[in-house]
A and B are shown apart, each in its own frame.
Chain A
Amino acid sequence: MFPVVHTRQLSESVFEMGIEAPRIAAKARAGQFLMVRTTGRGERIPLTFSDWSEGEGWIRFIFMRVGKTTHELSHLSVGDSLADVVGPLGVPTHTEPVGRVAIVGGGVGAAVAFPVARAMAQAGSEVSVILGARTRELLVLQDEIAALPGVTLTVVTDDGTAGEKGLVTSPLKRLCEAGSIDRAFAVGPAIMMKFCAATAREYNVPITVSLNPIMVDGTGMCGACRVTVGGQTRFGCVEGPDFDGLAVDWEELMSRQRIYADDERAADSEFSRGCSCHL
């Protein structure tokens, strides 16, 4: 069992959680993820580290409440435990110095953008972070990212309630156009990453994306997480989650993410019926 040592509600549907897991904390690297199971009957879901402390033995992640498992997670508080936490999984993001890099984080993608920006800046890259969300409420880790040394932050919201009004692709386009970045990194909803990749392609800027296919084991055993990159089938959990954004088959990824949408709606509405936060 993995004890919960920290919880914080960041917005109506976004939560931060810290758990005690010293062995994982000792190995965590930016861009890697965990597989988490709340209870003995629970689903295994992937969540990315947003932060960790080797010294204090904890890891943190940020999650959006979208279905039953994240809903259940959102009800836990300090003193509760998670049945299972496995990690660190996936190949760490390449954070070695690449000159000037733009990191785009959409929605809870900020959970990944934060440690990646921190690691890249520490390694000596010049980092611009573009943080986007539908509305001000849903912006995540804005202050933490703004406080990172060597990082400049641009905030964008769809409705203009914070930062500039528009989509994350506009500031990305400006940076590309001005020739002021050598590389881009994007993490967030698939549709956002797809458009970031399209923007990068226009200006011949290489772009890495952190994909989020549906997973089961997270260890390369089942193939649920397969994505097509450059015409080849790749396993997101062991070969990713980072891939070349210019080579990803986005339509397939988005289609595969919806496989269980109906089932999962059913499971969550069943769960919500007995749940105080929906009263």
Chain B
Amino acid sequence: MPPNKPRHKPSRDPRTPMPERAAEVRRGDFDEVASGYSSDDAYREAMRCLQCNNPTCEAGCPVNIRIKDFVGAIIEGQPRRGVEILKERNALPAVCGRVCPQEEQCEAACVLAKKGDPVAIGRLERYLGDFDLACELEHRCVPETAEASGYRCAVVGSGPAGLACAGELARLGHEVTVFESLHAPGGVLTYGIPEFRLPKAIVEAEVGLLEEAGVRIVCDEVIGRIATVEELMTDEGFDAVFIGTGAGLPHFLGIPGENLNGVYSANEYLTRVNLMGAYEFPARADTPVWRGRKVAVVGAGNVAMDAARTAIRLGADEVFLVYRRTEEEMPARREEVHHAKQEGVEFKLLCSPLEITGSNGWVTGIVATRMELGETDESGRRAPVCVLGSDFEIECDTVVIAAGTGANPLTADAAPELERSRRGYIVTDDDGATSTPGVYAGGDIVTGAATVILAMGAGKKAARAMDVWMHQRTES
């Protein structure tokens, strides 16, 4: 230890709360719910960290961010250095600091979690990410890139998997082009996760820094239509290709009435509102969304919470969440469930929709049946079972279905030759290599709907494997 560096004395303060806007205020607009730590908050929270010799939190992070060191940098009053440490492993800290399920990852593995509240690692990550974005553009942290390798890589899809892969390839000195079918990059970060949880300006700014680092992003090009993956390699001269097209195909319930007017997939509802800005229709955006008065959202994952909270903000009088199990089993993050309740979302638990009813082509309600929990099923949760004869009707004028997603359908046209699972996901090895040499894949198109950080981890890992593959092929 350097002689003049004082030993770190961790504080025993309770976890520093995240400042949030009051529920009554925030349910009226799309501004961000949590306003972020001040530098005092961040220091106070960082001081709780034990700076363990063997930081178990880092093992809990899918991309192994050097958590101990970036928290240490905050303790030492050196946020700039903290950003640099973070960005070595994670190109999108302001995004991840907001949307990662830290409670299941790094924070779950924090030593303090054994006795009380873990260090708020996610909030500190967000603090540093925001610190960086608050700097003048020329002072922001752009990770250093290796000398140009002369190799060219294509990345299909600009979601977290594609962006992380592209960032890593650029760092390794390769020339990278990202192809995105929509008119804006970011994948689910842009079209799915709402503004009030993840402001689009943050996504744009972090993507902008990747472009600073040399990543070229081409929007409005659908691989599979404008060119196949094979054509990218043969006609367009890319040495390796990464596929990160996500799990964008919305699932429906397969019950009668699902095509009535006023029934949305969560993807459509959220895309209209986020990507197309329908909440500002007609003043500042041209895409409309149906603003129901009584909205029923079916499902209980993060997507369902986002849809329900969006409906509240679009001015619905009542928003119900219809879920066939209990709150215990809900896949959504606790924090989001809590926020949804605070904002007035009503939970109708243990009930399952049988039919959507309508008149004149428009939704009027849902016929549902009551459920009870039976034996534990293969998911480890108690399986819901119908209570016979318990049908009842929920009156509503809008239904949003958040029943999960499947493999993006255009990916099969992009690369028909790749080995796929029964459900259409691309099969890869641990490094993301597919059945075709030089073609890699990662993120939701491999795993099915998962998380931002897992997608990023897969993208990065694949980038390293692509690097090795390109060099080896040239040598042999």
User: Are chains A and B native binding partners rather than an unrelated pairing?
Assistant: yes
**Total number of residue pairs linking A and B with CB closer than 8 Å:** 111
Bound-state Cα–Cα, A266 to B286, Å: 11
Residues of A within 8 A of B258 (CB): 233
Residues of A within 8 A of B182 (CB): 217, 219
- The distance in angstroms between the C-alpha atoms of A226 and B276, with both chains bound, is 19
Q: Among A41, A222, A251, which residue has its beta carbon within 8 angstroms of that of B285?
A: A41
Q: Mark A162-189, 1 if CB is under 8 A from B, else 0.
A: 0000000000000000000000000000
Complex interface bits, B237-266 against A, C-beta within 8 A gives 1, otherwise 0: 000000000001110100000110110110
Asked if B252 and A233 make an inter-chain contact with CB atoms under 8 angstroms apart, the answer reads: yes
A204-227: CB near B (< 8 Å → 1, else 0) gives: 000000000000110111111011
- Of chain A, the residue at the smallest CB distance from B180 is A86
Whether A42 pairs with B225 at a CB distance below 8 angstroms is no
CB distance from B171 to the nearest CB of A (A): 28
- A-side contacts of B408, CB under 8 Å: 219-221
B286–A42 CB distance below 8 A: yes
Q: Known: A23-B226, A84-B219, A233-B258. Contact between A220 and B286, CB under 8 A?
A: no
CB distance from B193 to the nearest CB of A (A): 14
- B409 in the interface, Cβ–Cβ < 8 Å? yes
Chain B residues near A41: list those with CB within 8 A: 277, 284-286
Number of interface residues of B (CB under 8 A): 39
Judge whether B271 is part of the interface by a CB distance below 8 angstroms: yes
Contact assessment for B259 and A84 in the assembled complex, using a CB-CB cutoff below 8 Å = no
Q: Provide the B290-302 mask, 1 if CB < 8 A to any CB of A, else 0.
A: 1000000000000
Cβ contact within 8 Å between A223 and B252 = yes
In whole angstroms, how far apart are the Cα atoms of A68 and B181 in the complex?
24
Q: Which secondary structure dominates where chain A touches chain B?
A: mixed
Among B226, B252, B272, B284, the residue within 8 A (CB) of A27 is B226
* In the complex with contacts A27-B225, A27-B226, A88-B226, A263-B288 CB distance below 8 A: yes
With contact pairs A43-B276, A267-B288 given, residues A256 and B261 touching in the complex (Cβ less than 8 Å): yes
In the bound complex, residues from chain A placing their C-beta under 8 Å from that of B282 are 263, 266-267, 270
* Shortest Cβ distance from residue B448 to the other chain A in the assembled complex, whole angstroms: 15
The reply to whether B222 and A222 contact each other, CB–CB distance below 8 Å, is: no
Contact with B along A81-112 (1 / 0, CB 8 A): 00111111100000000000000000000000
Please indicate which of the listed interface residues B271, B277, B287, B408 has the most CB atoms of chain A within 10 Å of its own CB.
B287
A267 touches B286 (CB 8 A): yes
Q: Mark B residues whose CB is within 8 Å of A.
A: 181-183, 191, 219-222, 225-227, 248-250, 252, 258-259, 261-262, 264-265, 267-268, 271-272, 276-277, 281-282, 284-288, 290, 361, 408-410
Could you list which residues of chain A lie within 8 angstroms of chain B, going by C-beta atoms?
23-24, 27, 37, 41-44, 68-69, 83-89, 216-217, 219-224, 226-228, 233, 235, 238, 251-252, 255-256, 258-260, 263-264, 266-267, 270
24 contacts between A and B (CB under 8 A): A41-B286, A43-B287, A86-B220, A87-B222, A87-B226, A216-B271, A216-B272, A216-B276, A217-B182, A217-B191, A217-B271, A219-B408, A220-B408, A220-B410, A221-B267, A222-B268, A233-B252, A238-B410, A252-B259, A256-B361, A259-B261, A259-B262, A260-B290, A263-B282
